[in-house]
Amino acid sequence: MPKSILANFVGDLTQGLGLNINIEDSPSYTLTISGHEVQLELDNSGDCIIVSIVLGKVPSGRYREDILEQALKSNGYPPPYFGVLGYSLDADILVLHRKFHASKLSKKLVMDSIPALIQMADEWSRALGSSSVPIASKPDPSTAPNMMQILGIQQ
């Protein structure tokens, strides 16, 4: 049986990370990339792959309001997007995610997008870990690391 679009996506990503893993079909995958648990799954329609990273718990009060205000500002910038920030009321966590339309997937898109997503996750999770509020700014693709930098490989 042919592999699903998700299995192919994860296979391309792990290959780009220099990992030789036999990917079996599964409804979701979790990879650890640069210290972040990266969840990959298909959306309900099966048309998009969602890549998600839990950034951390957001305590209630004024701090949460400030974090969510900056998250909304970050989400409101015009393209290019590194990722979209979301908040789970049930778990009080901030999540960074990005959707990839299955029909537009390519290895280049994956390898160009994941490092920027990881960079954004680093910035926001560091801020949450130190109880500071990140200041939303328009993503600048020229400052995003490449996959080799994410993996700590000197070029």
Rounded-to-integer distance, Cα 105 and Cα 136, Å: 28
Rounded-to-integer distance, Cα 22 and Cα 40, Å: 16
pLDDT along the chain (155 residues), means of 10: 69 72 76 87 87 93 95 88 92 94 79 85 92 80 62 51
**What pLDDT does 136 receive?**
79
Q: Is residue 124 part of a domain?
A: yes
Q: Is residue 125 part of a domain?
A: yes
Q: Is residue 155 part of a domain?
A: no
**What pLDDT does 2 receive?**
45
Token readout for 11 is: 């296979």
- In sequence order, which residues have a C-beta less than 8 Å from that of residue 40 and are 6 or more positions away? 6, 9, 10, 13, 28, 29, 30, 31, 49, 50, 51, 52
**What pLDDT does 114 receive?**
83
**What pLDDT does 54 receive?**
96
The domain that contains 28 carries what CATH number?
3.30.1460.10
Q: Is residue 24 part of a domain?
A: yes
The residue range of the domain holding 23 is 5-150
Rounded-to-integer distance, Cα 111 and Cα 122, Å: 17
Quick one: DSSP state of residue 103?
G
The number of folded domains in the chain is: 1
Q: Is residue 101 part of a domain?
A: yes
CB 113 within 8 A of CB 139: no
Quick one: DSSP state of residue 154?
-
Q: Is residue 65 part of a domain?
A: yes
Q: Is residue 131 part of a domain?
A: yes
Q: Give the pTM.
A: 0.81
**Whole-number CA gyration radius for the chain:** 16
**What pLDDT does 20 receive?**
66
